[in-house]
Amino acid sequence: MTLRGLLEPLYERYLLMQCTQIPTHVAIIQDGNRRFAKERGIDTAEGHRAGADKTEEMLDWAHDLGIRYITIYSFSTENFNRTEDEIRELFRLFKEKFLRTISDERVHRYKIRIQMVGDRSLLPEDLRTAVEAAEEATKNYEGFTLNVALAYGGRNEIVLAAREIVSDVREGMINSDAIDVQMVESHLHEAKGIPPVDLIIRTGNEYRTSNFLPWLATGHESAVYFCAPYWPLFRKIDLLRAIRIYDQRLSVKAH
């Protein structure tokens, strides 16, 4: 075993001791799959697959740490500007992963509820069917929730909620005077009841949140952690460092 292999578990233990408060909801911008692939001379599709495999590994860490909600930024509305080949490969990978959750022993053991957030109308029919099958198979689970942001845009989610509210007003279901923060939140994300974001993590050495969950994150002043590793190289140590930032922020606010 290498020296690093010996020291990392000790460092993980040290970091965990510093994390006295665990966030309920962690949102992750998984950046760097394409750069990871380019540096290793492999196909972009293989880089995305390595990122998807890392997501599965991260679910074990989240379960061990007691995180209740994970939201991953898998495909934004802006990503539709990528090449048709890359989009097709990504959608094929998403479909495969959603269908796999139905029989994934870990999903059922941990009682993971799978949900999609984003504009379903922008997805091909076969992917929508796979998403709905995964959601149906896990809808009664309460161990923790994995929200997959697909065809997602932060401003678009607010627009969609506004359309629903306007429709309800026109049909006489609600009075316009009754519109408040709580009502808007109840119309976000198809009324899935997703709690505010406590911590946003972005990998790949990018220092922006890319309009990710603006109502649940920016509106609630979540902690933000940027780190250098590309998503396929993300480690439990990186997750613990992010949680330490969250913990430190709560400690400062308490004083």
Among all residues, which ones are annotated catalytic?
31, 79
Show Cβ contacts of residue 28 under 8 Å, excluding neighbours closer than 6 positions.
Answer: 58, 70, 71, 72, 73, 200, 201, 202, 203
DSSP state of 98: H
DSSP state of 218: G
State the Cα–Cα distance between residues 248 and 146, nearest whole angstrom.
Answer: 25
Taking alpha carbons only, the member of 211, 212, 242 closest to residue 227 is 242
Percent helix, strand and coil across the chain, each rounded to 5? 60, 15, 30
Give the Å distances, CA to CA, from 174 to 158, 159, 225: 18, 18, 39
